[in-house]
Amino acid sequence: MAQVLEFKLPDLGEGLTEAEIVRWLVNVGDVVAIDQPVVEVETAKAMVEVPCPYGGVVTARFGEEGTELPVGSPLLTVAVGGTAESAESAAASVSAEAAAAESSEYSGNVLVGYGTAGPAARRRRVRHESPAGRAPAQAPAPAPVLAPAASAPASVPAPAVADGPVPVISPLVRKLARDKGLDLREVRGSGPDGLILRADVESALAAAVTVAAAPAPAARAATAVGVVAAGERIPLRGIRGAVADKLSRSRTEIPDATCWVDADATALMAARAAMNAAGGPKVSLLALLARICTHALARHPELNSTVDMAAREIVRLPSVHLGFAAQTERGLVVPVVRDAGTRTTESLTAEFARLTESARQGTLTPGDLTGGTFTLNNYGVFGVDGSTPIINHPEAAMLGVGRIIPKPWVHEGELAVRQVVQLSLTFDHRVCDGGTAGGFLRYVADCVEHPAVLLRTL
């Protein structure tokens, strides 16, 4: 007889509390091996394939693609230790005891890189009862997505009827309604058998806002011209939500200031061309700028720091972990090059290439996106000259680099056309004053204009 074990969304690390189901990699009825990836989820930091620690037959999946689930909520159930036929019958009688049972077919490797652990924390399951029975004490788990009718288990619990508990299964839907003060008994569900979905709650909230904003009948004629339809609402979640939170926190907590300077990059571009013409691996402009940044930070360590306001201390960091802004189809991400200060130009070029490709493919891990101490933002790739960067909290500074274009420039006392770039530095005014920030930026500009300056530090 097969045991049906429940696999829950594991703790993906880095303080993440929820993830969105992007793509299921298995169907109900599929046979899965231990540690086989079963679902692709998107967290606020990265796209992650989640492997299942059980081997057996998938009997149920929890959540449609696009559903956001909190850590610890069920992902799927697996029938372990039986045949496919026994798995189907076991799926119809999933119980809390079976779901929590431990098995010898458990690897412990929930996610490579996040350590090993035993089964996810046990979560009390609540059985649906008839209206005459006792109402559930807490919100039940998300509804399983079962196989088609021809192969689905015979007894699937139906959502509560209208005169019983409110037909809501997702705890996220309940929380959204509770936070917004919406009575779920007044919401009509669009799901199977009237199940209330997140979209139903969001539609009800949007309708309430529209009604509240509508003018009184007597005032409608006077205000008709100024009335606009409710705009499209796009949830701030996943990477977009994480970026919004981080930028808002930066602006709220960090008293930032920005200084900028134009620099003649003709010599830097010529030096790069000479390096690449000499043979061997090509070096990127970003890698050269990174080398300049790390040398400048060695001279001005105040900018490679963070502020601990609870202890009222500035923490100067021993290593430079250099973040760089990368625009992807999923939004802006900031991969981190570890120990950038100890890398060669070729090593920096290779690591930038690797992380950029991973960002485009959506395969960056949370470890690739955290732990930065200083950020380099090359917004010149968007064809703009300048910007005022927002510091990547909790760092203390960010260097922005605009496009490098031919401009009139006085060179050696003569007007000439030179390759000019604008550099901008946004810094946390708590860690240093303008003199230090200006010294850092001036040193960067000197290295751009005269790359031989770097030879003094080698």
> Which residue out of 295, 411, 429, 450 is catalytically annotated?
429
**What integer pLDDT is reported at residue 189 of this predicted model?**
83
Same domain, 329 and 437: yes
**What integer pLDDT is reported at residue 179 of this predicted model?**
79
Same domain, 70 and 29: yes
Same domain, 261 and 347: yes
The dihedral built from the CA positions of residue 214, 218, 219 and 221, taken in this order, carries a sign that is positive
CATH code of the domain in which 61 resides: 2.40.50.100
Strand partners, 318: none
Question: Is residue 429 flagged as an active site residue?
Answer: yes
Domain boundary among 141, 157, 173: 157
**What integer pLDDT is reported at residue 394 of this predicted model?**
93
Same domain, 211 and 291: no
Domains identified in the chain, total number:
3
The dihedral built from the CA positions of residue 13, 255, 237 and 366, taken in this order, carries a sign that is negative
pLDDT digit string (tens) for the chain, length 458 residues: 678 899 998 876 655 678 888 889 999 889 999 888 999 888 766 777 888 988 899 999 998 888 888 888 899 999 987 554 554 454 444 433 333 333 334 444 444 333 333 433 333 333 333 334 444 434 444 445 444 433 434 333 434 434 456 676 565 677 778 778 888 888 888 876 777 877 788 888 888 765 555 555 554 555 444 454 578 888 887 777 777 888 899 999 999 999 999 999 999 999 999 999 988 889 999 999 999 999 999 999 999 999 999 999 999 999 999 999 888 877 788 999 999 999 999 999 999 999 999 988 888 888 888 899 999 999 988 899 988 889 999 999 999 999 999 999 999 999 999 999 999 999 999 999 999 999 999 999 999 999 988 765 54
Radius of gyration of the chain (CA): 28
CATH code of the domain in which 200 resides: 4.10.320.10
Among residues 327, 339, 259, 340, the alpha carbon closest in space to that of 293 is found at 340
Domain boundary among 201, 235, 269: 235
Q: Which domain covers residue 10, as residue numbers?
A: 3-157
Same domain, 210 and 264: no
Q: Are 260 and 386 in contact (CB under 8 A)?
A: yes
Strand partners, 415: 410
Q: pTM higher than 0.85 for the full model?
A: no
Same domain, 413 and 323: yes
Same domain, 341 and 298: yes
Same domain, 278 and 229: no
**What integer pLDDT is reported at residue 292 of this predicted model?**
96
Domain boundary among 203, 235, 267: 235
Same domain, 280 and 417: yes
- Provide CB contacts within 8 A for 218, sequence distance 6+: none
Same domain, 328 and 417: yes
CATH code of the domain in which 382 resides: 3.30.559.10
Same domain, 277 and 212: no
Same domain, 340 and 422: yes
**In the block, residue with structure tokens 């409710």:** 230
User: Residue 415: phi, psi to the nearest 5?
Assistant: -75, 125
How many CB atoms are located within 10 Å of the residue 406 CB?
A: 11
- Provide CB contacts within 8 A for 335, sequence distance 6+: 323, 324, 326, 355, 356, 358, 359, 364, 368, 369
